Amino acid sequence: MLEADSSMLNGGVMHTEDRLPTSELLARWRALQNGDIAIETDWYELNERGDIVVTPPPTNRHQAIAGDIASQLSRQLGLLAVPAVPVLTSGGILVPDVGWMPMERWETALRSDPLPFAPAICVEVLSPCNHHLEMSRKIRAYLDCGSSEVIIIGMQGEIRFWGRDGESSASSFPLSLKVHPSLLSAR
């Protein structure tokens, strides 16, 4: 279960002393990735204080939707959309369900784990355990870290687009996304 961030309850202001220094956050992430810190799941993120935020493993349906959206992004915008790519943000190390950016940007970014900047498009597929505060923080973190657009796929297949100016009725990219109805039928 996800915990409420007390700094968000105080007007949404995060003080720099509430954050783990980037070097320590990265060291903690690498220790988790290398198995130096024992954890019983592969599905986690780190918040800005370096706390491990465990998320339930995604369902097959969740993964199918993310995979379908990744395919649509690559088909319509070109390579490359990647699933579950870790991103260093002001909100910690977050893992969007899909990240898309042009291939030439991936060529330099693939040497970094996590990515030191957000992909041009970050996609989150909502699950029953996601809540509004968590998604608001993630949207803000991705945009603050360089993403041009955050796409949220809702539980019923609704698609919402967020940019630096807030929510928009359409993508700022030449995109026409939709979730195939068969992926929603037994949700």
Pairing mode, strands 159-163 and 87-89:
unpaired
Q: What number of residues does the chain have?
A: 187
| The two three-digit tokens of residue 24, written as one number | 């320590």
- Predicted TM-score (pTM) of this structure: 0.86
Non-local (6+) Cβ contacts of 73 within 8 A are 81, 98, 100, 121, 123, 175, 177
Q: Which domains does the chain have, with CATH numbers?
A: 57-183 (3.90.1570.10)
pLDDT in tens, the chain (187 residues): 233 333 333 344 444 568 899 999 999 999 999 989 888 888 999 999 999 999 888 889 999 999 999 999 999 998 899 999 999 999 999 999 999 999 888 888 877 789 999 999 999 999 888 888 889 999 999 999 999 999 999 988 899 999 999 999 999 999 999 998 888 865 4
